[in-house]
Structure formats: structure tokens, C-alpha cells
Amino acid sequence: MESNEEARQAVGEYKAGWHDSENSTIRFDFGLSEEVVREISKLKDEPEWMTNLRVKAYHHFVDRPMPTWGNTPMLDSIDFDRICYYLRSSKATEKDWEDVPDEIRNTFDRLGIPEAEQKWLSGVTAQYESEAVYHSIREDLQEQGVIFLDMDSGLREYPEIVKKWFCSVVPLTDNKFSALNTAVWSGGSFIYVPKGVHVEMPVQAYFRINAKNMGQFERTLIIADEGSSIHYVEGCTAPTYSTDSLHSAVVELVALPGSHIRYSTIQNWSANVYNLVTKRGIAHKNSKIEWVDGNIGSKLTMKYPAVILKGEGAHAEVISVAYSGEGQHQDAGAKIHHLASNTTSKILSKSISKNGGRGSYRGIVNVSPKAENCKLNVVCDALILDGESRSDTYPTMEVSNPTAHCEHEASVSKVSDEQIFYLMSRGHSEEEALAMVVNGFFEPFTRELPMEYAVELNQLMALEMEGSIG
């Protein structure tokens, strides 16, 4: 198993499963109340409008029932009173890795973040528990007016821009978990790319939960002004504990006319994390939003990256892969709303279920009555690798304009014996052959990732596939 040994050396057994001793400077008690929400806002010295928004969102979260669809038994098992809603482990967001507290820096060293920054990134934010601990951006981009800050600094330094766009894409009443995020958000990224500026290399945010029973609620807002472009990459890991943690982020993207935003995620939470995320973008005239979304870890993921195609000629793409192993349910998909004419979209979703895991594609695509000549294409493929696993597809297509061309196709299958036989006849073991087929299955996704991420994803998948035969 040479390839798996290589993979193990590179990524280890759930490579991010260790945890540091908790040296928090501020830790709230478990449970959520209006007081907790006000306290978080006070700690951050926020303007009054933000405090009021948080409180309003908190009440909406309390009043709103849990979703009655999806994996309701898992959702109902979340104990909101056993979660810590705010934990700060560092006194400030540093601009130099040397200034980050040693233990936290070691964590990110082990995850390879500083090395990646030197090699291929335009900027980095590292978030540990509730707050960003490190932040940097290349000077030349800063000179061109690119703003890349953690969200708290963004609110402090650019309150007018934040006020204008915050909650404009995902309103606080959107769903129960986005309301929770709006009430207790902390950290995340704030990016503004000025008109005509192209950020050639990706910027990256890395989110790490370290403590037990932790809730991480980062909030990300990216605004690409006219004719600009940016590629944002995020990675997520957490230690393996026997108790559950909650990650409930909200991401808002605003692509102004002619701009291009690509948002790539490799979610590799440990199997005790509920990952309930709301991601949505608004695409204005001739702009393009792409979500590239890899879901490998977590206990339950419910994530449906969405694009509202508001301006004529806008384009949306969602490419996602999901791996569901033992005890995992990856309920992922995409939502595209064609509100304007000549808009186009493409969804490609691939999932693999193994060892009793459950992979679900859930998506909605709609074309409004006034949106002429829209084109959309949805493809979902699923592989089931054993008898205990399952795969579901729940696509919805609502078309209210006769000029729309809409296609959807999905298939669920197992790895074909012919493919395995062919690869084995070329000298590979059965396990290697299976790993190759799986990597090939994910290839349309991995080719969209920066090379370092694609290599790591292939290695992670090889490791997850170990022991699949026999």
C-alpha cells in the first residue's frame, strides 16, 4: 500500500485530530441568552446598530422552530445549552506569525499554513476558536486598495461598507442557523476588491476549533467591485472529541457588474462537528460567482451554496464533492435563482458513501417569469461503496419562463467491476484500483482547486479509502 503510506505520511490519521490544551483569555459559560449576545457585542466594542441587529437575530433564532426536513434526528440532538458561544485564546489579531501565541502558532504550523502563505497565497487569515489570531496581506495588493481583514477589524475600520452590505445577501430571518450566526458571529473575513483589480493569487482563511463543545460562528463578507476578481480559499479542521461542536457560518458574496468571485472550501471537520452553514452570493450584471466546495469531515453537514443571478448575463457555478464515512451525513447541494435574462448556471455534485455513511444532494434551481433565455445544467453523481451506506438526491427545478433551457441528470452507482479488473490487470492492487477510480470520480472537482489543495484532497481520499476492500 505504497500510495496509502505516502498519504499517511503526508496527512496522518485524521491529521487534524489533535488538540492543544485550552489557554483561553476569555471563555463564556455554556448556553445562549440575550445577555450573552450583548456581552459579545460589548467585548468587541461594536456600534449600536450591530448590537441591535444581533439582539433581533437572537430573538428570531429562539422563535424559529428547527427545520422539519433533512436529518431531523441529528438536528434535534444538538444541545444549544451545551455550547460555548464565545472563546478568545489570543489577545489580538497579529500581523506576524512570531507574535501569535506559541501553542496556536504551532497548531497552524502543523496545518502548514505559514508555509502555504509564503508559497502561493496573496493573504491569510487564521481563526482559532472565535477570533482571528493572525492576519496578513501582500503589500502590493494593499497598495491597490484591496481590503482583506478579519470581520471584526472590518467593522471597526470600515463601518459604512459593512453596514451597507452586512445581512444584505443573507437576511437575519433567512433560517434558524443564519439567525444564530448573526446573533453571535465572531471572526471571519471581510474583503473588498476595488474596481478593476485582479487578485491573481488566492487569499486563504483557515478555521480551527480547538476547545470541546465549542461553537464557531464566523461571518464572511466579500465584495468584488466592478470588473475585479478574487479567489478565496477556506479550510476547516477540529480535534476529535467525544462531545459535539457546532460550526455555523454565514458567507455573503457580492459580485458587482463584470466581477468574478471564486470561493473554494475544503471542509475537513472532525466527526463530532455539526457543520450548518449558509453561503450565498448575489451576482450582478455580467458577473460570475463560483462555489467550489469539498466536504470530507463533520458529523452532519447541511450546506447549500447559493447564487442569486440578479443582473443580466451573470453566471454561477457550483462544483461540490462530499465523502460520507461512518456515522456521517453530508447533506449538501446548491441553490441557483435566475432572476435576470441571459443568465447561466451549472451545478456539478459528486458524492461517495462508505461504511454506513449517507450522502445527500439537495438543491433548487428556479427561473423567474421575467428571466428570458436562461440556461442551466445540473449533474449529480453518487457512488456507494458498500451495503450499509446510502445515497439520496433531492433536486427541485422550478421553471416559470418558456425560453429557459434546463437540464438535470443524476446517477447512483457502484464502482464497476470492469474498471477494477482493468486496473488490477495493469498491476495495481484492488485497493489501489479503488482509490484510483474514486480519485478519477472526483477529478472534475480537484482540477478546479489550487494544486496544493488538490494534492492534499487526493491524499485525504486515499486515506479514507483505506480498508475499503474485504
* d(C-alpha 459, C-alpha 450), whole Å: 15
The DSSP bridge pattern shows strands 260-267 and 344-353 to be: unpaired
Under the criterion CB under 8 A, does residue 444 sit at the interface with other proteins? Answer: no
Under the criterion CB under 8 A, does residue 342 sit at the interface with other proteins? Answer: no
Under the criterion CB under 8 A, does residue 43 sit at the interface with other proteins? Answer: no
Under the criterion CB under 8 A, does residue 25 sit at the interface with other proteins? Answer: no
Does an H or E element contain 114, and which?
Answer: helix 113-120
Question: Residue 385 Cβ, how far from other proteins at the closest point, in Å?
Answer: 6
Under the criterion CB under 8 A, does residue 69 sit at the interface with other proteins? Answer: yes
Longest dimension (CA), the chain: 69
Nearest to 282, CA basis, from 319, 318, 311: 311
* d(C-alpha 114, C-alpha 103), whole Å: 14
CA distances for 303 relative to 251, 252, 334, 437, angstroms? 11, 14, 8, 26
* 268 or 351: CB nearest other proteins: 351
Residue that is written with C-alpha cell 481563526 in the block: 127
Under the criterion CB under 8 A, does residue 405 sit at the interface with other proteins? Answer: yes
* 137 or 380: CB nearest other proteins: 380
Three cell numbers at 251? 458567507
Residue that is written with C-alpha cell 444541545 in the block: 79
Under the criterion CB under 8 A, does residue 320 sit at the interface with other proteins? Answer: no
Question: Residue 323 Cβ, how far from other proteins at the closest point, in Å?
Answer: 15
Exposure string for 361-386, b = 16+ CB within 10 A, e = fewer: bbbbbbbbeebbebbbbbbbbbbbbe
Which of the ranges 117-125, 264-272, 398-406, 437-445 carries the binding residues for other proteins, by CB under 8 A? 398-406
Under the criterion CB under 8 A, does residue 72 sit at the interface with other proteins? Answer: no
Under the criterion CB under 8 A, does residue 349 sit at the interface with other proteins? Answer: no
Under the criterion CB under 8 A, does residue 23 sit at the interface with other proteins? Answer: no
Question: Residue 137 Cβ, how far from other proteins at the closest point, in Å?
Answer: 43
* 169 or 385: CB nearest other proteins: 385
Question: Residue 4 Cβ, how far from other proteins at the closest point, in Å?
Answer: 22
* d(C-alpha 172, C-alpha 177), whole Å: 9
Q: Per DSSP, what are the bridge partners of residue 272?
A: none
Q: Return the residue of 95, 243, 403, 447 that touches other proteins, per CB under 8 A.
A: 403
* 11 or 415: CB nearest other proteins: 415
Contact positions vs other proteins (CB under 8 A): 67-69, 369, 382, 384-414
